[in-house]
Structures are given as structure tokens and as C-alpha cells.
A and B are shown apart, each in its own frame.
Chain A
Amino acid sequence: MNDRGEFFRKLLEQMLLIRRFEEKSAQLYGLRKIGGFCHLYIGQEAVAVGAIAAIDLTKDYVLTAYRDHGHALAVGMEPEVLMAELLGKATGCSKGKGGSMHFFDAKRHFLGGNGIVGAHIPIATGVAVKIKYLNEEGCVLCFFGDGAIHQGVFHESLNMAKIWKLPVVYIVENNQYGMGTHFNRVSAVGNLASKGCAYKIPGEQVDGMDVVKVFEATRKAAALAKEKGLPSLLEMKTYRYLGHSMTDPAKYRTQEELEAQKKHDPILFLKAQMLKDGTMGEEEFKKMDEEIKSVVAKAVKFAEESPEPALEAMYEDLMV
């Protein structure tokens, strides 16, 4: 297999891992093993996987909002510690104190996971300040949804990123709905990528269902950020298959719309490409899928067998 084939295989594997992880999360939520708010990433896998594949996590950073399972897996966090976090266990990445919306991995430069819409956008901008301040080579990928783009801090952050020439790539994952509201109903412009124009930040709309296009657009934007200190705004056109969170039956859209969107499934799209290229056969795909399902099953077993946090843990990790 050539390099390109191997790369595609890695992308496919990661997307499939997210898909199976999220399906299992939905199941466990139904069984009330996961509580609270749980926002699943199914349908949007190509965005986190393609974008994060374009950066170097020894130098670069990733921040996202509360729909963070996909990004956490894409930066390479182990499914075990994520599933354990969802179950609130002591072995979770945040020791059971964060839950679904608060996955973090300091050593992989993954700074969350944030439950307040848009609140991490200035934080990501501040991480870029650090890169510039210490004269490092990295950049920051800041993911957020089409709902967050109307928050004041988005605009405040873009302004600062531009005047200070910060190495940050703002990535709006336009999955069409901010909770139950179609983005066209709440946005003055249909092209979200154009929202950087007031700050002279270049924007680009990208097919967020095509992982390779996501990868390429992000690689270009990351290079601009790192080499020229030019921030950019990428709008990934994507779609979430499930409701906003586990309690949302998504009655604001039609079944036809959903089925039409599913025809552009990011996993099936890449798979079809690989079958056509001959970089992967149907049998191989099935084998990959089986392996991933068993990885997820192992993660669930690990999480279920893990202990609850001790009560004393309540007072730990508050202050240094």
C-alpha cells in the first residue's frame, strides 16, 4: 500500500472509531449509564479527523466546544479514559469531574471541551498568544459550532487575532442547526466563512463531509498561521445525524432532509473512494470495523469496571 492509501486508511479508521464510540455512547445514555448533557458527533466525523490530521500535536493545540468526543479521539486520546469519563469514573480523563463536555488532555495539547457556547474561542486565542510570545512554531485549531459564531467573544477574538497576528485557525463546524434553530434563521449572512471580513481574516467554505478536503484546507490555513501569523476562518459544511443532545428528538427537520444528508456520509464517501482506488477491499473494511467495535467494547468494559471517585476527590484538583 502506498503512503496515500495508508493515510486514507488512518483517516477512515479514526472516523469509524468516532462513529462506533458515539453509537455506543447513545446506547449507554439510553441505559442511563451516562447522564446529563451528551452531544454526539455522528455525521461530523470528517471535520475533527481531517483538520487534526493536518497539524502536529507536539507543537499545535486543539480546543473545541461541548460536542467534543470526536476531537478527543482525533487527537489520540484513548477510548477507555473517555468512556470512563462519560460514566463519571475515577479513571476518566478528568477523573469523573468533567463528563461529556469536559474532555481534556494536557499532554496531547487538547485544551477541552467547553460547555459555554463560544467561551473557549478567546481561550484558544490566548493559547496562540503564548505561541507567539515564546516564539514557538505552533498554531491553534479552534473548533466551534454555527451557533457560537454569533457570540460576542467570537468577534472579539478574531479582532485580537488579527491585530496581534496570532497563529490560530478558527473552524466553524456548520452542522446547519444551533440546537433546534436552522442557521439561516439566526445569521444575517448565509456564508459563515464571510464573517471574518470585518477583521480582514480570510474565510473559506469547505465540504466538511469530505475528510480529504477538510485536511487540505486546514493544512493550508495552519501553514498561513504558522508561517505568516495570519489567522483564518474555515467554515466546514457538515451535518449532525442525531439531535442536538440526547434529549432532542430533532423534530425541527424532516426525515427526508436527514436521509438526503446521510447520502453524503463522510465515512461511506471515503470508503467508496478507497474501494474505487483499490486501496482497500470490502473485506478489509469489515475487518477494520470489527476491530474498532471490539476497541469500543473494551473501552466500555474498562469504564464499567472502573471505580467511582472517592468522596474525598470532591475537594481535590480545585487549587494548586
Chain B
Amino acid sequence: MAEMTYREAVRQAIDEEMERDERVFLMGEEVARYNGAYKVSMGLWEKYGDMRVVDTPITEAGFAGVGIGAAMAGLRPIVEFMTWNFAFLAMDQIVNNAATMRYMSGGQFTLPIVFRGPNGPAEYLAAQHSHNVAAFYTHVPGLKVVCPSTPYDAKGLLKSAIRDDNPVIVLEGEMMYNWKGDVPEEEYVVPIGQAAVRREGRDVTIVSFGRPMKIVMEAAEVLAGEGIEADVVDLRSLRPMDSETLVRSVMKTNRCVVVDESWPVCSVGSQVGQMVSNRCFDRLDAPVEVVSLEDVPMPYNHRLESAVVPSVEKIVRAVRGWKLGRERE
């Protein structure tokens, strides 16, 4: 094991897969000579050259479509969006083309393409640069969506995504790129579609994905101090979703809090809530609670934005609410 940053883990995944398969190439804004807006692709252009690490014009719809065409014709592109905020311009290409071509053609084409980049709120970036796009893409049949929360998963899931013959959306996080964690020296992949249990507990299931996993673990420690042991599930893949691992956990704990760093309406969180309510109805001691972003565009002011995102306190409060409720009975 070596300790490394999430950024370095992503870079290693790209590097190793480019070395393994000549058809894998990286394209996006500033990925080559600038080494990536967030330095994820550091050194790759020097190693692989212009043909395989491609600086694109600022033209998200255009280069997403170019990636799709290259994939339909047999290459394996990794398309980097500087951030997912800018990929709204490419949504037509991703949703209308990448996700549908195989189906519309009766299975004649495969689309081995990865769309990746940082997702979700960072800090002081206001409304247009703080989007969490998980729900938009998880909604779409024909796509896979992963959201790694550790360097280990960032590398392992990205390697799986690059090897996958379907379009895969990889949601990284600007705030996560400096996170550190252990990554094995030897070759490994993390299969898409498997959740991870990060902490065992009997009293409540807290389920999340991506950046909020850190505050979820902190909240679990706070709760443990109060005698509430949380089972913590990291979804890792949003589509396909490992509902079995989650249901198994809730069957054990009989309660569930979902933490989702996006808006509450029609979100991955609300979908998880519906699924758990449906599958675990007879076993639930309390309604499923969702801790989400506040339902507003992200404000710039730090005091306000800090109040908009999920926090340890909000998670603890959501769990504690039921504890109090149970005591009142």
C-alpha cells in the first residue's frame, strides 16, 4: 500500500489504462500542456504526446460528440470536463447520443467512453459552478454512473470505467482531489455496481456517496459517543446501484438516513429513499430521512453556502430525531 492523493489515484488509473490499451486516449480542455485544470493529467502529455492527450477548444458539446464518434468507431476515449458544471452544454451528446446509440441501433454499436471530471459544490463558487449533477445522469438508462469517495475507489472505479464497453459517468470532486488514502501498489479494479460498508453498526444506516462520505463518518463518530452505532454504506456506484447491500443494512438497523449533496427534489437521495421505503417497509421503525442541499442555488457568501450543504450537525440531528422519537414511545 502507498498513501496518495485522490488526484494521483485518478492520474494513475488513466496512465495505467493508457499503457495497457493503445486505443485509450484522454481529451478535454487544458488536459495536455497545462497538465489539467486540477492537475489530474500531470505528466501524461509528456509521456503520450499530442495524439493521445488532446487539448480541445472550449467546446463541451463538440468534444463530447467527438468522443462519442471515436468510441462508436472503436477507440476508447476518456473525456474530461473541467468541471461537470460545464457539461450541461454536452448533455445533448451524452443523453441523446451516448446513452441511446446502442439501443436505437438494435445493439450494433458499443460505446466504450468515459466522461469524467469534478462534481459538486466546492467553496466560494456561487450558483453556476457548484452543481451536483448526479441525479441528471443517474436518471438515464444507457449510462453507468460512479462516484468514488476515496483514492482507492477513484483509481479502481476509473479503471473499471475505462475498461467498460458502455458509457460511464465518473463524478470526482474538486474538494476531494487532495484527500489522501491507501492505494495498493499492485494492479486492482473496483467493479462498478458494488457498494461498500464503511462502518458497522446496529442502530441506523447512513447511506451516502462521494464527498459527503467524510462528514458521514465524522457524524457516525459523534453518534457513537452518544451510544448510537451507525452502519455506514458508501454507494460508490449510482447506476447500477447495489441496492442489496443497502437493503441488507437497513434490514439490520431498521432505520435509514440518506446523505446526498444535491437538491432534494427528484434526486439520487429521494430515489434511495423510495427504494428503501419500498423494500424495507415492514422493517422500518421510522421514515427514511434525506439530508440534502438546501433547495436553493448555491450562494457565494461562505456563511450562507456552509449552511446550504449537508453537515455533521445536520446528519446527527436527522439520526437523533428518531432516537428521541423512539424514547418518547
Whether the pair B75, A130 counts as a contact (CB closer than 8 A) is yes
Whether the pair A160, B104 counts as a contact (CB closer than 8 A) is no
Q: B71: which A residues are within 8 A, CB to CB?
A: 126
Whether the pair B61, A153 counts as a contact (CB closer than 8 A) is yes
Q: A157: which B residues are within 8 A, CB to CB?
A: 62, 65-66
Q: A296 at the A/B interface (Cβ < 8 Å)? A: no
Q: A239: which B residues are within 8 A, CB to CB?
A: none
Q: A204 at the A/B interface (Cβ < 8 Å)? A: no
In whole angstroms, how far apart are the Cα atoms of A61 and B109 in the complex?
A: 14
Q: B51: which A residues are within 8 A, CB to CB?
A: 133
CB distance from B143 to the nearest CB of A (A): 9
CB distance from A63 to the nearest CB of B (A): 8
Whether the pair B103, A123 counts as a contact (CB closer than 8 A) is no
Q: Which of A48-56, A187-195, A312-320 contacts B (4 or more CB under 8 A)?
A: A312-320
Closest to A111 in B: B72
Closest to A96 in B: B106
Q: B62: which A residues are within 8 A, CB to CB?
A: 122, 125, 152-153, 156-157, 159-160
Q: A208 at the A/B interface (Cβ < 8 Å)? A: no
Closest to A98 in B: B104
Whether the pair B72, A316 counts as a contact (CB closer than 8 A) is no
In whole angstroms, how far apart are the Cα atoms of A157 and B101 in the complex?
A: 19
Whether the pair A94, B57 counts as a contact (CB closer than 8 A) is no
CB distance from A201 to the nearest CB of B (A): 15
In whole angstroms, how far apart are the Cα atoms of A46 and B131 in the complex?
A: 48
Q: B110 at the A/B interface (Cβ < 8 Å)? A: yes
In whole angstroms, how far apart are the Cα atoms of A112 and B56 in the complex?
A: 25
In whole angstroms, how far apart are the Cα atoms of A17 and B281 in the complex?
A: 61
Closest to B67 in A: A126
Q: B325 at the A/B interface (Cβ < 8 Å)? A: no
CB distance from A34 to the nearest CB of B (A): 17
Q: B64 at the A/B interface (Cβ < 8 Å)? A: yes
Within 8 A of B (CB), among A116-159: 116, 119-131, 133-134, 152-153, 156-157, 159
In whole angstroms, how far apart are the Cα atoms of A83 and B188 in the complex?
A: 48
Whether the pair A130, B73 counts as a contact (CB closer than 8 A) is yes
Whether the pair A319, B142 counts as a contact (CB closer than 8 A) is yes
Closest to B113 in A: A126
Within 8 A of A (CB), among B78-120: 92-93, 96-97, 101-110
Whether the pair B70, A94 counts as a contact (CB closer than 8 A) is no
Q: B67: which A residues are within 8 A, CB to CB?
A: 126
Whether the pair A160, B57 counts as a contact (CB closer than 8 A) is yes
CB distance from A174 to the nearest CB of B (A): 22
If A133-B25, A156-B59, A159-B59 touch, whether A126 touches B65 (CB-CB below 8 Å) is: yes
Whether the pair B70, A126 counts as a contact (CB closer than 8 A) is yes
Q: A24 at the A/B interface (Cβ < 8 Å)? A: no
Whether the pair B70, A159 counts as a contact (CB closer than 8 A) is no
Whether the pair B96, A320 counts as a contact (CB closer than 8 A) is no
Q: B63 at the A/B interface (Cβ < 8 Å)? A: yes
Partner of B109 from A93, A104, A129 at Cβ < 8 Å: A104
Q: B249 at the A/B interface (Cβ < 8 Å)? A: no
In whole angstroms, how far apart are the Cα atoms of A98 and B105 in the complex?
A: 6
Closest to A115 in B: B96
Q: A114: which B residues are within 8 A, CB to CB?
A: 97
In whole angstroms, how far apart are the Cα atoms of A130 and B69 in the complex?
A: 8
In whole angstroms, how far apart are the Cα atoms of A93 and B165 in the complex?
A: 21
In whole angstroms, how far apart are the Cα atoms of A164 and B50 in the complex?
A: 10
Partner of B57 from A106, A116, A128, A159 at Cβ < 8 Å: A159
Closest to B61 in A: A153
Closest to A116 in B: B96
Q: A95 at the A/B interface (Cβ < 8 Å)? A: yes
In whole angstroms, how far apart are the Cα atoms of A105 and B104 in the complex?
A: 12
Whether the pair B70, A97 counts as a contact (CB closer than 8 A) is no
Residues 290-320 of chain A, each 1 if its beta carbon lies under 8 Å from chain B, else 0: 0000000000000000000000000011111
A-B contact pairs, 20 of them (CB 8 A): A95-B106, A97-B103, A97-B104, A105-B108, A106-B108, A115-B96, A116-B96, A116-B97, A122-B93, A126-B69, A126-B73, A129-B70, A129-B75, A130-B74, A130-B75, A159-B57, A160-B59, A160-B63, A316-B107, A317-B103
Q: Lowest 7 A-B CB distances belong to which pairs?
A: A126-B69, A122-B65, A156-B62, A95-B106, A317-B107, A123-B69, A104-B105
With A122-B65, A160-B66 known, 10 other A-B pairs at CB within 8 A are A93-B105, A120-B97, A122-B64, A126-B68, A126-B73, A152-B61, A153-B61, A156-B61, A317-B107, A320-B166
